[in-house]
Chain A
Amino acid sequence: KQEVTQIPAALSVPEGENLVLNCSFTDSAIYNLQWFRQDPGKGLTSLLLIQSSQREQTSGRLNASLDKSSGRSTLYIAASQPGDSATYLCAVQGGKLIFGQGTELSVKP
């Protein structure tokens, strides 16, 4: 059974810092891994999708990597801003979409 774990559960950083969010999964038989952002009480916004054959994807200040063999992914956020404050979820797709518990990020001005 696929299990997805995100570390840390919460993170608070000052504005301008670079930061890394971690996601690990137990079954490497996945089609892809996706990172989402969720604002309080809202739906999910897709940030980055990494196909199983890819190693990384970049969008603006965001960079996500995937190491399928070790069951790990990281989301790197450069030059963090208060507007980045949200919960970040990773999800792996191997038939069904399985989510981690999320990392709640707070960026202080």
Chain B
Amino acid sequence: SAVISQKPSRDICQRGTSLTIQCQVDSQVTMMFWYRQQPGQSLTLIATANQGSEATYESGFVIDKFPISRPNLTFSTLTVSNMSPEDSSIYLCSLIGVNTEAFFGQGTRLTVV
């Protein structure tokens, strides 16, 4: 199994500011995934991050709002930019292991005030 370290675990931010969430993996993986879980909702895929290329965003998500970096095969960041209260959610990073099992980070609980 893979171990994903995600931080911060939670944060309270002022509207109009940005927050960068980091995920570190204990092994090299080609693709990492970023999800958003709005209050009371299930998980929605934001984007897929490949090392060495631009992230692929799902419908409804744009790079200007959620820029992603993937500098190497063990690390990725997601930035939530120009935040508003509607961005208050849990953000999660994920990967698919060699046996197709999905693993998730501990989540970042973001509150925008």
Binding site for B on A (CB under 8 A): 31-32, 34, 36, 41-46, 49, 51, 89, 91, 93, 96-97, 99-102
Contacts and interface: CB of A to CB of B under 8 A. Distances in A.
Contact of A41 (B6, B42, B43, B109): B109
A49 B98 CA distance: 13
B102 A43 contact: no
Contact of B102 (A41, A42, A46, A51): A46
A32 B90 contact: no
A43 B101 contact: no
Interface size class of B (residues with CB under 8 A): 20 to 34
B92 interface: yes
A43 B104 contact: yes
A43 B106 contact: yes
Interface of B: 1, 6, 10, 33, 41-43, 45, 90, 92, 94, 96, 99-107, 109
Contacts, number: 51
A102 to B, nearest CB: 6
A43 B6 contact: yes
A41 B90 contact: yes
Given A41-B109, A42-B106, A43-B107, A49 B100 contact: yes
